[in-house]
Structure 1
């Protein structure tokens, strides 16, 4: 087996558990999926970019950990310590299925997560009760996630492919129904709303011992030496995607020159290597084939496939990740 095939198999094993479950994406013919959008829409582009999603995923976990109630739920109920790869696989499958899968497949994974959430509850170290199905907590987890994914995409996607301000707003609006289906409320649907939401949440966010433990664990993620090396390089790059105050709260001191002159180019090379090894996405190909069976014009009017492109990208993330 050649190097490319070995890396591709390891990537598939780490992210998808070794099985893509293409039946979730391939049929039924003409099914528009949960979101009912076209393959070139912002949410497809963001969620289909490996480097942006991997770095954005690490950034999302760090940002999410600063909510004491969200972190308490992870600390007391998650199996991330004993089965970190399994947790990654479940998260990746949820995102890919709700973005690219059929309506039935998307509803099935949403219903499964909702059932799991009903069993996740307890008391945080500060004495406050929490529930994973708390609508406001679900909004926090979702917003931190999509903010990080979009930031990762805007940094690591080719410059010509990055989203305009209008497309960034569309991305948030297209991703919101998934959070709402899980039970989230008042989900931000534009760059401005996300910026205001994060500013409003900031007084509630602070580091806890559980958050620091999770950060240490993330730095050592991986089953093999190669996985750990790649994960560490992507983790370093994810630090650059975080707002400056987040790094300060987590006690991460990584000089701006290191982030700009080492982390960013190294992660770019690593990401391109992973994309080369993976080749064209089988998930995307299956989903595109399913959508291609839609009657002409059936879902074209609101697909977001003909968005007017502006000259500048999203204001909140147009600067490189090394600033702040």
Structure 2
């Protein structure tokens, strides 16, 4: 195949892949009523943060967002009060795909959505949290609106998304990582967190302080089994859907591999739960490719358009 023919074939392949990824990404974020959120409206309304923020670059990558979200849940479930609240008061166990869609849409609204929509969504989450309380199997009382637990949830989510992007898409400098944590303070405070990490050093200190409270649980392993076996990608493509389903166990191992070693050891997640060397290479290639493909129906692209920016604003070097 000649040079021009090869270039044409590569362009066609990337275009076809982008369309399939776009459909899959859109389907994953659709609410239960089937009405997708249009992040292009209302025109001109700012988000909670700015398009130049590190978080806007990170959350545009569907592969690392998926892996990072799983890593965050693994860390959340390590804390017994959070674990009991999540497992007893959410639909994750019985309807994992529905729960993933709601969580993913909430994350995208927080980062990219018009500020008014994001604030309304967060207010609804806080009303729901105010109704959730109970006790762990060993008698520890908990409330979903407890600032200590919200601090942990915010720290684990921030860590998971950042580390997945850093490890599997594009390495970030120390300055960029610290900036990312500072950028998240506004949204974290809206959710009710009182001391979210504002630097990587803060994050590490929060993990060290929480470590004595973390414990292994069969629920963590049940969660990993659900994520390995539930068909996450809707059937939008005869090519993409089977491939993604077969790759899910690798994505789960990628999430486990992001967990800090001392926490992995405490949870009993040994070497067999981690990535193999060739899988790490595949994920880095896939993450880097996903970071270059402009998904036109994604919240990241639509939000740039809402603000009068080019569709590829987050995909170009700055």
Same fold (TM over 0.5): yes
Which residue number corresponds to residue 151 of structure 1? 163
Q: Mapping of 1:76-87 within 5 angstroms?
A: 76-87=88-99
Provide closer, same or farther for how the CA distance between residues 270 and 233 of structure 1 changes in structure 2, counting only shifts above 3 A: farther
Provide closer, same or farther for how the CA distance between residues 28 and 277 of structure 1 changes in structure 2, counting only shifts above 3 A: closer
Q: In the alignment, is the contact (CA less than 8 A) between 2:76 and 2:156 conserved in 1?
A: yes
Within the candidate set 219, 224, 230, 2:247 is matched to: 230
Q: Does 1:166 align with 2:175?
A: yes
Which residue number corresponds to residue 186 of structure 1? 195
Q: Mapping of 1:116-265 within 5 angstroms?
A: 116-158=128-170, 162-222=171-231, 226=242, 227-254=244-271, 259=275, 261-265=277-281
- Structure 1: gaps of 5 or more residues: 294-306, 308-324
Q: Does 1:63 align with 2:75?
A: yes
Q: Does 1:290 align with 2:306?
A: yes
Which residue number corresponds to residue 30 of structure 1? 44
The 1-side partners of 2:225 and 2:194 are apart by 32
Report how far residue 124 of structure 1 moved. 0.7
The 2-side partners of 1:274 and 1:174 are apart by 23
The 2-side partners of 1:212 and 1:282 are apart by 31
Deviations 1:242-295 (A, max 9, x none): 111222223222269x735122123234546766887345422321122238xx
The 2-side partners of 1:20 and 1:271 are apart by 25
Within the candidate set 101, 117, 122, 1:110 is matched to: 122
Normalized against structure 1, the TM-score is what?
Answer: 0.79
Normalized against structure 2, the TM-score is what?
Answer: 0.81
Report how far residue 111 of structure 1 moved. 1.0
Q: In the alignment, is the contact (CA less than 8 A) between 2:169 and 2:287 conserved in 1?
A: no
Which residue number corresponds to residue 23 of structure 2? 9
Report SS of the residue matched to 2:145.
coil
